[in-house]
Amino acid sequence: MSFALWFARLGEKFLNLAIYVGGVSILLVQTIRFAIMGPLDRFQVFDQMKKIGVNSLPIVTLISLFTGVVLALQSAYQMQKISAQLYIASLVSLSMMRELGPVLTALIVAGRVGAAITAELGTMKVTEQIDALETLATHPVRYLSVPRFLALMTMLPILTVYADLIGIIGGYMVGVYKLGIGSGIYIKMTFEPLMLKDLFTGLSKSIVFGVIICIVACYEGFRTQGGAEGVGRATTFSVVTSFILIIASDCLFTALFYFAF
């Protein structure tokens, strides 16, 4: 009896997962189709770009600066033992560009912007504003999802570039002012081990992260039910899901780039 119950629950869980994956995929396809088809509301896109990109810059700056500082200090601890402090520069720049820049920025934006998107769309859903959009012959995906999609896809890589640079500056501050490495040699060691591939794999990752954040947040918003409590639940779920998907896809991408190139 308990086995049958357990099995039924498993089946239900699997069904819910299938519904989730299916819903997210359909939303993604619809969003891309509307984005290509147009027409685009330029103001909406710019407004979202400002909310997502420009307004996220202070926190991204703060966190990537501290990450750069911590990275340099922590590696100094070990590197000094084998008197290889010079390589701190390379270590900071490589790990910022390849991994920490894109992933940290994506996590910050998922927490800051993804939550806001879900909360906004969820509130619109429970107050029937989404239905109102439809009765005004405007598709919610076109009006709400497409501007956020385009803004996230373009702004996240640009934020990542900022994060890369600021992280490197953080490492530079530690390396030059605390550990006494020469400024010129530090800059040289920062860029010497880097290849364009490192930069562009990082940026292509962040485009994918942008897509994940947008689609997960919009999907959770669109399917919100049950008033203020429902909005809260949807927001939490949206942030948790994008965190998991960002880390999982990062793992996948790193493996892919490692084996394929």
Binding site for other proteins (CB under 8 A): 43, 46-47, 49-50, 53-54, 57, 120, 124, 127-129, 131-139, 143, 154, 158-159, 161-162, 164-165, 190-192, 194-196, 198-199
Nearer to other proteins, 223 or 247 (CB): 223
User: What phi and psi, each to the nearest 5 degrees, are found at residue 226?
Assistant: 90, 45
Q: CA 106, 109, 110, 114 torsion: positive or negative?
A: negative
The residue to which tokens 């359909």 are assigned: 26
Minimum distance from CB of 192 to other proteins (Å)?
A: 6
Nearer to other proteins, 247 or 257 (CB): 257
- Look up residue 139 and give its two tokens: 């598709």
Minimum distance from CB of 203 to other proteins (Å)?
A: 8
Nearer to other proteins, 155 or 234 (CB): 155
Nearer to other proteins, 44 or 73 (CB): 44
Minimum distance from CB of 124 to other proteins (Å)?
A: 8
Rounded CA separation 62/121 (Å): 28
Nearer to other proteins, 154 or 247 (CB): 154
Minimum distance from CB of 137 to other proteins (Å)?
A: 4
The residue to which tokens 């927490």 are assigned: 111
Rounded CA separation 155/48 (Å): 10
* Residue 38 falls in which region: left (phi positive, over 0), alpha (psi -120 to 50) or beta: left
Reference 157, options 14, 53, 13, 50; nearest CA is 53
Minimum distance from CB of 244 to other proteins (Å)?
A: 28
